[in-house]
């Protein structure tokens, strides 16, 4: 963790704990009471429309939670950098709302983004000391879409270094899980998962190449979406493997996820994959929030990913029963053995060569002071073998993986070409065919077959795409996967259900997840980040 963060945060600590003054308004007010950590984006927007809440007050309330819990108290360490202009921007948007009304449902809503998405006004480091202070030439496309919608970037979030490996990096250090400080928030979007669970913003952005939105959503007990490949532009995202890379929202409710998703879609000339979304995307996904969506639905259950943990299995079975009670038909399905056995090999055959080539494409857009290819990153990493005075730490686990990446073949290699040309379409067609043959609306399974691991777990026990997790099926196929909290273990660790659909079936998944969410109501504020006095707001 950089000592500079403490100096930046101290400026916010001097600010008053706002929002308490809201309760001291007119004694005759009949405005509803909202809790910051429970209020949905539509509820917050309605309160701002009614004049009982301002974006400035909302930003300050979130900053107060960051101050209390991120670098103090449980010291979750989710934030790489707070936006020094967040309050000023909130004031500007409050005035704009007063004069001309809101730009979108996200107007004045604070969001946090993973620090591998470019921001022209703040550094983008991918969590590496080797990119410390790097200011990219412009905003990532999705960041610009959020700003244009009136969202406020509250800060950049900690992550796995270069979006791979454990929930730590050389520049920001180790991230903690707000439900259990000794357990991992999972990677690579671990900072986003922990921050949203802890109530530091209304929505967070993660990226997903091999489960990096879904693992942290599950470990921290929030809603997350691995979007269909091509639904959201990756322009301005530090690449890991563009054949798999996606950007996805992470929120505390399906409603907030639907609201956020709608303002981020769009065809981007700088990202050819978004051409696939033409006539397949929406600017308003809230229209699919139907509490009766499970009635008549046909849900497939992939039980091959169960039987590792009794508590997880119990909660999955309870969720399946809730689906049946809501009118869904639940049937068991099986993936072909060849797919289960080959999925990890297919993943790595694409992931390693693409990072080797594509990280170089990104690095050449940066200033001359930064490495220009993977060999340059490895050379610089080898100069750091102990913690520095500024808090930078070694990250040998991630850097060791770079050895495998740099040894990968080029993008003209026969194995890479064969997997990309034939295997990936085969996986997509197989899953799509299975769902069509069985007339399924979604295939479900536990996102993680066991609760979040201990941070100090034995090293060297797994590697990306090892095949132990079901989540890479969505990356290999390019299909969407929506994560929904379904309950907690006896020791208070969250468990989630994955809902896998076919290409651009986000509307169906949002409807199913919303209907199940209303029955289960399984999101809870983590024990280490309880409500603060200033979290009580006045609604409309």
Residue pLDDT, tens place only, 395-451: 999 999 999 999 999 999 999 999 999 999 999 999 999 999 999 999 999 999 999
| CB 314, CB 538: distance < 8 Å | no
* Helical residues (DSSP H) of 407-532, grouped into ranges: 414-418, 424-437, 472-477, 506-520
The DSSP-derived string for 94-163 is: HHHHHHH--SSTTTT-EEEEETTB-BTTB---TT-GGGTT---SS--HHHHHHHHTT-EEEEEE--SGGG
User: Looking at the predicted structure, is the pLDDT value of residue 304 above 80?
Assistant: yes
User: Looking at the predicted structure, is the pLDDT value of residue 182 above 50?
Assistant: yes
Confidence grade of residue 365 (pLDDT, cut at 50, 70, 90): very high
**What pLDDT was estimated at residue 425?**
98
Strand 329-332 versus strand 298-301 pairing type: parallel
Among 471, 486, 473, 356, CA closest to 409: 356
H/E/C letters for each residue in 194-257?
HHHHCCCCCEEEEEECCCCCHHHHHHHCCEEEECCCCCCCCCCECCCCCCCCEEEEEECCHHHH
Q: Calculate mean pLDDT across residues 443-464.
A: 76
User: Looking at the predicted structure, is the pLDDT value of residue 457 above 70?
Assistant: no
User: Looking at the predicted structure, is the pLDDT value of residue 18 above 70?
Assistant: no
DSSP 8-state code for residue 297: -
High-pLDDT (> 90) share of the chain, % = 90
303 CA to centre of own chain: 25
Residue pLDDT, tens place only, 223-282: 999 999 999 999 999 999 999 999 999 999 999 999 999 999 999 999 999 999 999 999
Confidence grade of residue 179 (pLDDT, cut at 50, 70, 90): very high
**Residue 285 three-state SS:** coil
Residue pLDDT, tens place only, 20-53: 333 333 333 445 899 999 999 999 999 999 999 9
| CB 328, CB 319: distance < 8 Å | no
Residue pLDDT, tens place only, 122-155: 999 999 999 999 999 999 999 999 999 999 999 9
**What pLDDT was estimated at residue 538?**
84
| Phi, psi for 196 (deg, rounded to 5) | -70, -40
**What pLDDT was estimated at residue 410?**
96
Distance of alpha carbon 496 from alpha carbon 452, whole angstroms: 11
Confidence grade of residue 540 (pLDDT, cut at 50, 70, 90): confident
Among 449, 186, 445, CA closest to 309: 449
User: Looking at the predicted structure, is the pLDDT value of residue 10 above 60?
Assistant: no
pTM: 0.93
Name all domains of the chain by residue range, CATH numbers in brackets.
39-456+472-534 (3.90.1300.10)
Q: How far lies 390's CA from each of 82, 129, 462, in Å?
A: 18, 11, 31
Residue spans of beta strands (DSSP E) within 339-476: 442-446
Among 522, 439, 539, CA closest to 218: 522
199 CA to centre of own chain: 14
Q: Calculate mean pLDDT across residues 331-335.
A: 98
Confidence grade of residue 12 (pLDDT, cut at 50, 70, 90): very low
**What pLDDT was estimated at residue 539?**
79
**What pLDDT was estimated at residue 32?**
81
**What pLDDT was estimated at residue 459?**
45
User: Looking at the predicted structure, is the pLDDT value of residue 522 above 80?
Assistant: yes
**What pLDDT was estimated at residue 350?**
98
User: Looking at the predicted structure, is the pLDDT value of residue 511 above 80?
Assistant: yes
**What pLDDT was estimated at residue 27?**
34
Q: Calculate mean pLDDT across residues 183-197.
A: 97
| Phi, psi for 299 (deg, rounded to 5) | -115, 125
Q: What is the overall mean pLDDT for the chain?
A: 93
Indicate the Cα dihedral angle 481, 482, 485, 490, nearest 10°: 0
Residues tagged active-site: 114, 188, 212
Q: Calculate mean pLDDT across residues 155-165.
A: 97
User: Looking at the predicted structure, is the pLDDT value of residue 535 above 70?
Assistant: yes
User: Looking at the predicted structure, is the pLDDT value of residue 465 above 50?
Assistant: no
User: Looking at the predicted structure, is the pLDDT value of residue 473 above 50?
Assistant: yes
Residues 475-511 as b/e (b if ≥16 CB within 10 A, e otherwise) read: bbbbbbbbbbbbbbbeeebbbbbbbbbbbbbbbbbbb
99 CA to centre of own chain: 34
Residues 6+ apart with CB under 8 A from 53: 22, 34, 44, 47, 537, 538, 539
Confidence grade of residue 7 (pLDDT, cut at 50, 70, 90): very low
Q: Calculate mean pLDDT across residues 274-303.
A: 98
Residues 6+ apart with CB under 8 A from 396: none
502 CA to centre of own chain: 20
| CB 134, CB 124: distance < 8 Å | yes
């Amino acid at each position: 963790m950089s000592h500079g963060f403490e100096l930046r945060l101290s400026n916010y600590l001097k600010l008053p704990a706002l929002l308490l003054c809201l309760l001291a308004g007119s004694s005759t007010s009949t405005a509803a009471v909202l809790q910051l950590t429970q209020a949905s984006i539509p509820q917050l927007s309605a309160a701002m429309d009614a004049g009982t809440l301002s974006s400035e007050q909302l930003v300050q309330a979130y900053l107060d939670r960051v101050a209390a819990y991120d670098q103090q108290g449980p010291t979750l360490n989710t934030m790489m950098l707070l936006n020094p202009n967040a309050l000023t921007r909130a004031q500007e948007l409050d005035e704009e709302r007063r004069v001309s009304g809101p730009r979108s449902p996200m107007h004045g809503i604070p969001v946090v983004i993973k620090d591998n998405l470019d921001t022209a006004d703040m550094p983008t480091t991918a969590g590496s000391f080797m990119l410390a202070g790097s200011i990219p030439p412009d905003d990532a496309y999705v960041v610009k879409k959020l700003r244009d919608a009136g969202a406020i970037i509250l800060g950049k979030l900690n992550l796995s270094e270069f979006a791979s490996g454990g929930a730590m990096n050389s520049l920001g250090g180790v991230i903690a899980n707000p439900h259990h400080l000794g357990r991992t928030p999972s990677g690579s979007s671990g900072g986003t998962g922990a921050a949203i669970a802890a109530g530091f913003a209304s929505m967070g952005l993660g990226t997903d190449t091999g489960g990096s939105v879904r693992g942290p959503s599950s470990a921290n007990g929030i809603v997350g979406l691995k979007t269909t490949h091509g639904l959201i532009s990756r322009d301005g995202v530090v690449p890991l493997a563009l054949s798999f890379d996606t950007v996805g929202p992470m929120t505390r409710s399906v409603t907030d996820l639907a609201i956020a998703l709608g303002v981020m879609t769009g065809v981007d000339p700088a990202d050819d994959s978004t051409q696939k979304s033409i006539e397949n995307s929406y600017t308003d996904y809230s229209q699919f929030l139907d509490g009766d969506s499970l009635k008549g639905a046909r849900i497939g259950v992939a039980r091959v990913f169960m039987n590792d943990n009794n508590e997880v299995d119990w909660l999955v079975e309870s969720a399946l029963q809730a689906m049946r009670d809501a009118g869904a038909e639940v049937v068991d399905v099986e993936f072909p053995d060849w797919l289960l056995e080959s999925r990890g090999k297919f993943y790595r055959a694409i992931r390693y060569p693409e990072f080797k080539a594509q990280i170089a494409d990104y690095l050449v857009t940066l200033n001359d002071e930064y490495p220009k290819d993977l060999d340059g990153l490895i050379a610089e990493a080898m100069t750091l073998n102990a913690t520095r005075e500024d808090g930078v730490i070694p990250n040998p686990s991630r850097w060791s993986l770079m050895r495998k990446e740099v040894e990968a073949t080029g993008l003209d290699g026969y194995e890479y070409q064969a997997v990309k040309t034939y295997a990936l379409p085969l996986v997509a067609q197989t899953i799509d065919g299975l769902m069509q043959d069985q007339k399924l609306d979604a295939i479900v399974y536990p996102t993680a077959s066991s609760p979040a691991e201990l941070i100090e777990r034995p090293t060297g026990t797994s590697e990306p795409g090892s095949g132990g997790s079901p989540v890479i099926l969505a990356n290999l196929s390019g299909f969407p996967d929506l994560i929904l909290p379904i309950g907690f273990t006896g020791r208070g660790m969250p468990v989630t259900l994955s809902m896998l659909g076919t290409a651009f079936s986000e509307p169906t998944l949002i409807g199913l997840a919303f209907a199940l969410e209303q029955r289960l109501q399984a999101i809870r504020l983590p024990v280490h980040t309880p409500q603060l006095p200033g979290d009580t707001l006045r609604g409309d």
